[in-house]
Amino acid sequence: MSVEILAEDPGLTVPARTSVLRKLVKDPQAVITASLLLVVVVLGALASVLAEHGPNEASLDAINAGPGTPGYPLGGDQSGRDILSRLLHSINTSVVSALIGASVALTIGVTFGLIGGYFGRRIGGLTEWIFSLLMTFPGLLLLIVLLPVTHGDFRATMLIFGVLLSPGIYRLVRNLVVGVKNELYVDAARVSGLSNLRILGRHVLVVVRGPIVIAAAFMAGTSIALQSGLAFLGVGSTTVPSFGAMISEGFTNLYTEPLQFLWPSLLLGLMTASLVLLGNALRDTLEGVKLTPAKLTVPERRPAVATTAAEDDSLLVVDDLTLAYPTPSGELTEVLTGVSLRLDAGETLGLVGESGSGKSQTAFAVLGLLPAEAVVLRGSIRFAGRELLRLSERELRRLRGRSIAYVPQEPMSNLDPSFTVGAQLVEGIRAASGVSRREARDRALALLGRVGIPDPKHTFASYPHQISGGMAQRVLIAGAVASRPQLLIADEPTTALDVTVQAEILDLLRDLQQELGMAVLLVTHNFGVVADACGRLAVMRNGAIVESGTTVDTFRAPQHPYTRQLLGAILDQDTVRTDTPAVVVGTDPE
C-alpha cells in the first residue's frame, strides 16, 4: 500500500485516484471469480458450436453412455441425450434466469427504496405497506400456483420471482437512504438548489451502491438456484435444459452413473459461489478496503534514534508517530507524520495548531481511542516507561480514567442525557477505583465542591440538560481528576464555552494541576490559552510538529514562519481600529 507524498509539502498526502476497474483488476478474488463466470458464460454462448447434438435430441445408443463415447464427450443421460449439450444449454438458462430475476428485483427495489426512503412520511408509508404485503406472499408456492399463467415458461417465472425478491432490495435501500438523507451534506445539497433527482443520484445512490452490488450478486445466485430448484421438482417446461432437471435425473442414477449427477451440481455450485464472491470483491472495491485496527499494525519497536536519555525519563514520550487512514479507494492518507513530543510529570504542554493540523489525532493516539480503521505506520508512544501502542484494549482501559484522564471539547455531548450527573460521576469513580457506592458518592460531592460548583448536592441530582455548559465542563473535570491521574489530556476544553467561563476553567485546570502534580497535555488552537496555561508548547501543522519549545521563548522569538504567522494573527488589545466600521459607512448623518 503506497502513500503518495507531495514533494513541496511533506505534511500533506494525497491518495492516487484509482478507477474501480483498475482496483478490481488488482484483486485476485475479483479476477478469479469474474474469469470463471466469463468462461462459463462464453461456454454457454458457444453451446451449439461445442456440442454436436441439441439438448433434447435423444438417441437409444447414447442411453447412459459413458464419458468419451464418440459424439458424447461427457456421455449420455438416461434418456440418451448429450450431457455436454444439456450442460452448456443449462448455463444459458441459468444466465437468463439470473439476469431477469436480479434486474427486476433491482429495478423495483432500488427505485422504490430511494423514493420511500427519501420522500416524506406519506410516500414512505405507502411503499412500506406495499412491500410488506409483497413479503407476506409465499414465494415458491405462488410460483407453482401461477404455472397456468406463466405456461411453465421459466422467463415469466423469473419475472414474478424478481418481483417477489424486490422487497429485500427495497428494505436495504430504504434503510440506507433514511440514514443518509439527514446528513448535513445532503442538506447542503438541498440548500444549494440541487433537484431531488440529482441529490438522489449523486449523493444518496453513491452511499448505497456497495450494498446494492452485493445484493444484486446474491439475487442473481438466488434466481439461478430457484430456477434449478423448480426444475428439480419438475415444475415448468421439460424441454428447457436446466441444472435442476439434470441433477434430478442424475439423482435417480446416482449409484450407477454418479457423473450424471456430479457435472450439473459442480457447474451450479461454481456459478452461484462465483457470483457471491464476485459481489464481495466488488463491494470491497466500491466501499474501500477495511484495514486492521491500529494496534495490530504497530511496527516492531525500533531504537528511538531521536530521543535522548532525558526524554526517556519523561512521563510521556511520543516518538516519530505516523498515523494514516484508508481512503475509499484503499490508499492510505497520513494524518500524522513523524510526531515527536515529550511531557514531564507535573508540566503543562500546549499542543497548538489550526483546525485539522492533527492535534486531536495525537491526543486520541495517546488515549488509545483511535478509530478501528486508523493505521499506525511507525513510531511509539511511551507512558511511564510502557509502550502504549502494544497494550491490549483491556490494559488501555485500566490506564484510561486512572493514570490518563481526558477532558473533552464538548462537555454537553459527553454527558449521557438519560442519567443524572451524580450517577455518571459515581459510575466513573467506581470503575476507576472500585470503591463502594457510598464512598464514590461522597467523593463525587467533594469533587463537585472542589471544581467550584456552588451547590454540589443539587448538581449531583441534576440531569445534564439542567446545568450550564460551564458547569458541565466542571463536572467532567471533576470526573477526570477523581482518580488523581498522572496525565490529563484536555482537548480544547474551553472552546465550547463562554469567554468569561473559559478563564475560570483554565484557572481551575491550573489549580488542580498544581494540587495533584499532574502533567497536562492541553490541545488548543488558541495561543492565548497557551500563554495563560502552558510552560511549553508544540506547534502542529499538516500532521507534523513544526516547532516546540518553552512558551516564553517561542512567544519572544518564534523560529518557524508558521508559528510567526499564527502569533501574528493574535488580536492585541493595543491595536485600535483605524478604518470606519461597516455599519457607519454610507449612513446618512441626518
Ligand X SMILES: Nc1ncnc2c1ncn2[C@@H]1O[C@H](COP(=O)(O)OP(=O)(O)OP(=O)(O)O)[C@@H](O)[C@H]1O
Cell numbers for 371, please give them. 478509530
Total number of residues that touch ligand X (CB under 6 A): 12
- Least Å distance, CB 360 to ligand X, is 3
Q: Could you tell me if 397 and 432 are in contact, meaning their C-beta atoms sit under 8 angstroms apart?
A: no
Count of residues in the chain: 590
Q: Which is nearer to ligand X, 410 or 439 (CB)?
A: 410
- Conformational region of residue 479, where left means phi above 0, alpha means psi within -120 to 50, and beta covers everything else: alpha
Q: Using CA of residue 43, residue 44, residue 48, residue 54, what is the dihedral sign?
A: positive
Rounded CA gap, 150 and 144, in Å? Answer: 9
Residues pairing with 334 in the sheet = 324
What is the DSSP code (8-state) at residue 407? E
Q: Which residue, judged by CB position, is nearest to ligand X in the bound state?
A: 360
How far apart are alpha carbons 34 and 18 in whole angstroms?
19
Would you say 66 or 371 has its CB closer to ligand X?
A: 371
User: CA 491 to CA 482: how far, in whole Å?
Assistant: 18
Kindly state the smallest distance separating residue 322's Cβ from ligand X, in Å: 13
Nearer to ligand X, 15 or 428 (CB): 15
Of 536, 527, 416, 408, which Cα lies nearest the Cα of 465?
Answer: 416
Q: Considering beta carbons, is residue 23 or 525 the nearer one to ligand X? A: 525
Q: Report how far residue 15's alpha carbon sits from residue 4's, in angstroms, rounded to the nearest whole number.
A: 6
Q: How far is the CB of 502 from ligand X (least distance, A)?
A: 16
Residue 61 corresponds to which amino acid?
D
Q: Min. distance of Cβ 402 from ligand X in angstroms?
A: 25
Handedness of CA 266, 269, 272, 277 (dihedral sign): negative
Distance CA 200, CA 194 (A): 10
Which one of 30-38, 215-223, 353-361, 582-590 is the stretch in contact with ligand X (CB under 6 A)? 353-361
Cell 500500500 found at = 1
What minimum distance in Å lies between the beta carbon of 328 and ligand X? 10
219 versus 336: smaller Cβ distance to ligand X = 336
CA distance 99 to 223: 8
CB of 163 closer than 8 Å to CB of 134: yes
Using the rule CB under 6 A, which residue among 44, 250, 279, 358 binds ligand X?
358
Of the pair 371, 517, the CB lying nearest ligand X is at: 371
CB of 574 closer than 8 Å to CB of 392 = no
Nearer to ligand X, 69 or 333 (CB): 333
Smallest separation, CB 44 to ligand X (Å): 45
76: three-class secondary structure by DSSP: strand
Among 227, 357, 459, 483, binds ligand X (CB under 6 A): 357
**Which range in 358-366, 381-389, 498-506, 574-582 contacts ligand X by CB under 6 A?**
358-366
CB 565 → ligand X: shortest distance, Å? 16
Q: Nearest distance from residue 474's CB to ligand X, in Å?
A: 22
359 touching ligand X, by CB under 6 A: yes
Which of 322, 361 has the CB closer to ligand X? 361
Query: Is 353 a residue that touches ligand X (CB under 6 A)?
Result: yes
Instruction: Name the nearest CA neighbour of 549 among 563, 537, 566.
Output: 537
Closer Cβ to ligand X, 18 or 327, answer by number: 327
Helix (H) or strand (E) holding 375: strand 375-383
Q: Among 295, 430, 525, 536, which residue sits at the site for ligand X (rule: CB under 6 A)?
A: 525
| Continuous H helices in 56-153 | 83-118, 121-136, 139-145, 147-150
* Rounded distance between C-alpha atoms, residue 413 and residue 476, angstroms: 11
Contact between 10 and ligand X per CB under 6 A: no
358: its cell numbers = 492533527
Task: Identify which range of 147-155, 359-367, 504-512, 564-572 contacts ligand X by CB under 6 A.
Answer: 359-367
Residue closer to ligand X by CB (options 229, 356) is 356
CA-wise closest residue to 23 among 331, 272, 315, 231: 331
Q: Please state the closest distance from residue 232 (CB atom) to ligand X, in A.
A: 49
* Chain residues 322-341 in contact with ligand X, contact rule CB under 6 A: 325, 335
Q: How far is the CB of 432 from ligand X (least distance, A)?
A: 26
Query: Least distance (Å) from ligand X to the CB of residue 327?
Result: 8
The residue among 77 and 491 lying less far from ligand X, judged by its C-beta, is 491
Place of cell 522569538: 557
Q: How far apart are CB 412 and ligand X at their closest, in Å? A: 17
Q: How far is the CB of 469 from ligand X (least distance, A)?
A: 18
CB under 6 A: which stretch of 33-41, 66-74, 242-250, 351-359 binds ligand X?
351-359
Considering beta carbons, is residue 371 or 385 the nearer one to ligand X?
371
What helix, strand, coil percent values describe the chain, rounded to 5?
A: 55, 15, 30
Per-residue interface string for the shown chain with ligand X, residues 285-324, x marking contact by CB under 6 A: ----------------------------------------
Letter for the amino acid at 472? A
Applying CB under 6 A, among 258, 269, 299, 371 the residue interacting with ligand X is 371
List interacting residues with ligand X (CB under 6 A). Answer: 325, 335, 353, 355-361, 371, 525
